[in-house]
Amino acid sequence: MPVAARTTVDFVVIDVETACSSVSSICQVGIVGFRNGVEVFDYETLVDPLDRFSSFNTRIHGLTCDHVFGAPTFADVHAAIDSHLSGRITVAHSFFDKGALGAACRVHDRAEIRTTWLDSVRVAKRAWPELPSHRLNVLSKFLGVRHKHHDALSDARAAGMVIVRAIDHTGIDLAGWLAPPRGRGGPAPKAAAVGPLKGERVAILGAPRDGALARRLAAAGGRVVASVGLTTTKLVISNDQPFGHYVTAHADHRRADALRREGHRIEIVSEDEIRERLAAVG
């Protein structure tokens, strides 16, 4: 099978379907390339897995041994897959596809495909934490993306759109999504004995508890807490918060908003505003 000319892309997306419980039993591959938020190529092929088809898997994707009769094997299509993925950023919705590719390479004695992986499930959970599920069919409906579930090409296309929409929705670029997610940081600084925030319990959204903002709040007498709770009096939104403009979807913001509606004394305030207040009182 000839390998298509390499196209300049920001990232590619792959989805595979398998014939049975053997993770190496790839029977369909779909790959889509994206540049500047637009699809620029696709590649799809059925694959003879040289393995059995289980009724369980067939019920999921509808493929049987009759569909792949005469189709190339994984060894036959390895070069084409490698040409699309190697040296690029490759998105998959969960790392099942990564594991399946690795297993198929070992079983069929082909070189490992070297690429940088990005899990679109992790991206979706950070971008839309309020959703009850981050399965691809749920996300597709939420985003208004046309999608045929468990068709490899359609799944790859939908997972790519998850990345495109998440970048647009949060302002986090591709490099940002590839970076390790921020933790809460080390122990919070000890609150000063006196200061304009004395008696306040302050949660921070988007900055570590041991960072510069936390130190400023603690120096003003505020006790920096790990997350919003019943006794929290302020939620400070960091200028560097990791959810872009979609801060209201974060669990701490939703919790603070709910407590406020219930009559609790809790204020949601930006970093700039709290710094201005503290500067005004010295």
pLDDT at 242 over 70: no
pLDDT computed for residue 208 by the predictor: 83
- Amino acid letter for position 275: R
Average pLDDT, the chain: 91
pTM: 0.70
- pLDDT above 90 covers a percentage of the chain that reads 78
Helix, strand, coil percentages for the chain (3-state, nearest 5): 35, 20, 45
Among 16-20, 128-132, 167-171, 275-279, the range scoring the smallest mean pLDDT is 128-132
Domains of the chain (ranges; CATH) run 11-178 (3.30.420.10), 201-280 (3.40.50.10190)
Q: Give which of 77, 99, 76 is closest to 31, Cα–Cα.
A: 77
- pLDDT above 70 covers a percentage of the chain that reads 94
CA distances from 248 to 124, 126, 174, 208 (A): 15, 12, 22, 18
**pLDDT tens digit sequence for 197-220:** 999 999 998 888 888 999 999 999
Q: Give which of 6, 108, 113, 117 is closest to 47, Cα–Cα.
A: 108
Q: How many CB atoms lie within 10 A of CB 185?
A: 15
pLDDT at 183 over 90: no
Structure tokens at 156: 């790859």
